[in-house]
Amino acid sequence: MASSSLPLDEFSDLIGLIYEGPLEPVPWQQSLNLIRERLHANHVTLILRSSTPEDPGLYINSGNVSTEGFVSYATHYYTLDPFVGLPPDQVVTVHEILGEAGWLESPLYKEYLAQLDVFHIMGADIHTPDGVECRLRGCRPRHAKAFSEKDKAFCRSLLPHLKRAVILHTHLDRSESERKLYAGTVERLMVGTVILDENGKVLQTNLAADELLSTRDGLRIANNVLEATHQRDNRELQRLIKAALSGHTKPDLSVVDAMSVTRPSGKSNLGVVVRSVPMSEWSEGKHRAAAAVFVRDPESQAQAPQEVVRQMFSLTPAEAGLAIQLANGLSLDEAAEALNITRNTARAHLRSIFGKTGVTRQTELVRILLNSVAALAYQRT
């Protein structure tokens, strides 16, 4: 027997679902459903992040508990819960902690759980080495049997696997958060990104790339392959991509090349950088990012929010507005007209901006604005 109550094949299926849990749209939903069925519980809950006054927490539930009921617990009743701080990685029942009389008299039961027909509770607190604390809880109504030693043994057999799966989830979540952060930074710099697999097929594009490619002005995607519009440019682009793909299988080699792509519209050429994405030492190497193509349109504008510019350089709102207009390429007269102010007022603002930023020429001002971190908080124009 794989556990105290399940045949080996059923137990193996459940363990598999626990390890697949971090990849589900709602993590562990399938495994929690099976655990609930096995325990004959009215609901089973995995609390990944406990409620605090500042955070309602993160609860994954299997069972018939209304959203309103969970919101009530997460925003108020959690403060009354005596079934917390359990011995790490041990399965216990609420009656073992409080006794039946103590549980019946507890404010959480009388004010909240009695109305939900929740009486028997079994649970475990899981602590990971990197400080994550989560809770597994199973509940039954009052008319049902109490959780048995066999039920507790069943849950104990799952805890080591659930703990490892939570560790995997934490690492995956951290990596995804970092990926979104860096991808967002590239997006704010208005750099188009096209990710290619080991066969040169397009895996992913960002919003900036989508906007550039939708115009088919210099670059396009045909049959899931990135191409340049002009034949000569396309030959060079495919050569660079092939070179990058040849380097992705070598962990110590990163191939980086650049080129300029002509646009049929006559607008300024697109700047393109192609680089390999080397495999890690343990990568399986199939259908993964193998090369990245970065594209920049020199005519695109990333406008930093006025409030960010004002804060960075201690400018007034009027001065920040003028600085942004100048950074967008307008002359002082054009900026004054756009802001509906006189030229003399614009000149006065410019003198004040020079004093606050420590520059003496308009070109220097534009340079420091464009090179500042304000660009990371851009707004599309």
Residue 379 or residue 23, greater confidence: 23
302-380: CATH architecture: Orthogonal Bundle (1.10)
What is the average pLDDT across 304-325? Answer: 87
- Rounded distance between C-alpha atoms, residue 285 and residue 290, angstroms: 8
Q: Among 339, 329, 315, which Cα is nearest to 362's? A: 329
Predicted local distance difference test score (pLDDT) of residue 253: 57
Predicted local distance difference test score (pLDDT) of residue 324: 85
Going from the C-alpha of 136 to that of each of 14, 60, 104, 211, the distances in angstroms are: 16, 10, 21, 45
The residue type at 334:
E
Domain boundaries, the chain: 8-177, 189-296, 302-380
Q: Among 49, 126, 45, 33, which Cα is nearest to 85's? A: 126
Tell me which CATH code domain 189-296 carries. Answer: 3.30.450.20
What is the average pLDDT across 309-315? Answer: 87
Predicted local distance difference test score (pLDDT) of residue 2: 43
Q: Among 76, 63, 147, 139, which Cα is nearest to 107's? A: 76
Does residue 127 have a pLDDT over 70?
yes
Handedness of CA 327, 329, 333, 335 (dihedral sign): negative
For 68-85, the pLDDT digits (tens) are 777 888 888 889 899 999
Predicted local distance difference test score (pLDDT) of residue 73: 86
Does residue 154 have a pLDDT over 90?
yes
- Rounded distance between C-alpha atoms, residue 149 and residue 92, angstroms: 10
Alpha helices (H) in the chain, listed in sequence order: 8-20, 29-39, 67-75, 94-104, 107-108, 149-188, 207-214, 231-247, 306-313, 317-327, 332-339, 343-357, 362-371
Confidence of residue 381 (pLDDT cuts 50, 70, 90): very low
For 318-327, the pLDDT digits (tens) are 999 998 888 8
Could you tell me the pTM of the whole model?
0.72
Quick check: do 189-296 and 302-380 share a fold? no
Predicted local distance difference test score (pLDDT) of residue 252: 56
Torsion angles phi and psi, residue 288, rounded to 5: -135, 170
Torsion angles phi and psi, residue 313, rounded to 5: -115, 10
Does residue 303 have a pLDDT over 90?
no
Superfamily of domain 8-177: Transcription factor LuxR-like, autoinducer-binding domain (3.30.450.80)
Q: Are 171 and 270 in contact (CB under 8 A)?
A: no
Q: Write out the DSSP string of 197-225.
A: -TTS-EEEE-HHHHHHHHTTSSEEEETTE
Q: Are 193 and 241 in contact (CB under 8 A)?
A: no
